[in-house]
A and B are shown apart, each in its own frame.
Chain A
């Protein structure tokens, strides 16, 4: 199993550009999550999904959109990138039961200039 994979690893965007961060998992997990981590801080939940076709906002959803058309994939879209979105983005997934232990991808480091 590859676990949770994320692409790209690094990206530099100009202000106002858009991009999609890709996330995929091969563990047949129902739940998937997107987080951002700013320097020296813990992670903040952006969006989560409990299954294909079902998504909901987390703590910091403004400026982002998500979709979940399959169990495996959970892309995060940034529209009109702003410097405040410079961060490291992590995707995670978990089963719906068994304590919902979360497994994380390696992250995408995004800089908006």
Chain B
């Protein structure tokens, strides 16, 4: 059964710091992995999607990597800003199915 874990559960950093959020999954037979941002009381905003054949995706200050063999993905945020404060969720879709499994998220706080 696929399980997705995100570490750390919460993170507080000063503005300008580069940071890495981690996501691990137990079954490497995945179709894709998606990173989302969720602001308090709001829905989810898609940040990056990595298909199983890809190693990484980049968008602006964000870079996500995928290593299926080790069951890991990282989300790198460069030069963090207070506006980056939110909860970051990763989710995997297993190969051959549509069932999406989410991690519990990392709550990020960037101090000005």
Contact = CB atoms under 8 A, between A and B. Distances in A.
Interface in A41-92: 41-45, 48, 50, 56, 58-59, 90, 92
Interface in B6-57: 31-32, 34, 36, 42-46, 49, 51
B98 A50 contact: yes
Q: Which of B98, B99, B102, B104 has most chain A Cβ within 10 Å?
A: B98
A102 B36 CA distance: 10
B71 interface: no
Interface residues of A, number: 25
Contacts of B100: 33, 35, 43, 45, 102
Contacts of B91: 42-43, 102
B93 interface: yes
Contact of B104 (A40, A102, A105, A107): A40
Given A40-B104, A90-B44, A105-B43, A100 B31 contact: yes
